[in-house]
Amino acid sequence: MIRDHSVANDSLIVGVMRGHKLHSLATHDGGFLRVPTLSVWMPGR
């Protein structure tokens, strides 16, 4: 159940970013690496 909410939240983040024409995201969530249109910055890696 928790993972389902996380995926929905991730989709919302990507949708809002696309709407605002944003392409870079700093996160600890490696799931965003699967989104080809995003440049993902992972602090500490």
pLDDT, tens only, 1-45: 455 667 889 999 999 999 999 999 999 999 999 999 999 999 987
pTM: 0.78
Count of domains observed in the chain: 1
Eight-state DSSP code of residue 28: S
Say how far apart CA 5 and CA 21 lie, in whole Å. Answer: 24
Which tokens is 16 given? 């809002």
Cβ density class 24-42: b for 16+ within 10 Å, e for less = ebeeeeeebeebeebebee
Residue 2 has a pLDDT of: 52
Residue 29 has a pLDDT of: 92
Per the structure, the complete domain to which residue 14 belongs is given by 2-41
Kindly tell me the burial class for residue 16, based on how many C-beta atoms sit within 10 Å of its own C-beta (0-12, 13-18, 19 or more). Answer: exposed
